[in-house]
Amino acid sequence: MSGKLDTSYEDPEALAVKVLDLTKNSRIAIGTSGFGSVGYPKTFPKYLARMAAEKGVKISILTGASAYAMDGVMAEAGVAERRYPYQNNPVMRKLINSGVVEFMDYHLGEWPFLVRNGWLDNVVGTLDLAIVEASKIVGDGFVPTGSVGSVTAFVDMAKHVIIELNRDVSEELMGIHDIYTPKPGEPIPVRNVSDRVGSPVVKVPPGKILGVVESHGIDVGGKPVEPGRTEKAIAENLLEFLQEEIRRGRLPGNLYPIESGVGAVNDAVFKAVGEAGFTGLRAWTEVIQDSLLNMYLDGKMESMSATSLMLSPQNLERVYREAEDIKKNIVLRPQDITNNIEVIRRLRVIAINTAVEVDIMGNVNSTHILGKNIINGIGGSGDFSRGAFLSIFITPSTRKDGRISTIVPLVSHVDTVDHDVDVVVTDQGYCDLRGLSLRERAKLIIEKCAHPTYKDQLWRYYEESIKEGGHAPFDPVKAFSFHINYINTGDMRGG
């Protein structure tokens, strides 16, 4: 079914009442746009949350990834019941960690597939409503704003759709998006970073549209991050590894397409990498932060593909001003394309993600504090580490003024298993783990990546753990000794 969408505006409060009258349930499930706190609906969720609170309705919230302010609205109204698959709002996080809101973390590349195939139906039921932010309505579809995320899956699976037309987002974004849905049994026809294989708009059956709401607001995806001494040291060690791979002929001079994880450490490290003299770089990643965009604008990056523009206001404004040029070489895609393991492997992506902690065998925790409290979620690091040509994890060797070692005997929560970790880089050095046994890995990680303050402590654990034999350097009694020290004294040192 096709036809032009009605672009007349609806009153958001009346529309919220209409939604709850249509569902007639005490629980509803919504899927919203938003990825990297960019492109989430900014107006309608406020009215829906207020009306749901008045009527005692609970809401299961599905997004592509983070939707910072919208999560805050839902959490503060007390209507959030479930949240998937990634979040970064402190109020929502507190409710999740206290058990008030049920949460499950998923690999973001798999998430749209799970939604389409009903994996959550037994818990949340069918998707009642998709709420999507648009920069423009074109015929029988809409142009997303600064992210794509899971909007295609939500629009396809939801009973009803509400479009928020954001008047503060430039219509010049038309043409930067490449909307393609994977077809069962068929390869995704992307062979190069800048390939376009889909449509610039998201198509919506007109019969699904409940209404269009006018909205305003500029996304603030991040602030410019200046690398400090620690980030510069991590960058220097990362560059040393990459340049050695080039010297050995295992990487081309302009590298393979790179993926940069989300966050201040990654952004600061890539700012430093951008000053290393590389040219002709490409990025196949899930989020474009300031460091990557600046590399493109400086002529060092020739093309980029992502699902979200997580930029500072200054750089976002520059994207709007220079949209015609930027759209030639920068593409925004659904997350089940950007994070698809098949494509990541085909393009030989070099994945560089941040760890909360790494253990001496190479397992990575990127989501939890002391094994129990969620921070944000695994995001795309699992997708990229499993499919990458090279899977690299970076982290400062210590945090909290040295009271926490990020190199520990055993991580308190496993997100990426040792099998999917090729290289670990800290401000102390780098470890190439390829081909090494678990014992060999442990010795190299302690020697090259641990902070000097914790080396003796780690060596003692290693020597004691192998006394009884065994393939892995593992002592079930003392594996969490670092974490127990911190719980008891606020410092991992000692013991």
Distance CA 281, CA 292 (A): 10
286 as an active site residue: the answer is yes
Query: Of 81, 133, 231, 286, which one is the catalytic site residue?
Result: 286
What phi and psi values does residue 70 have, to the nearest 5 degrees? -65, -40
Tell me which residues are annotated as active site.
Answer: 286
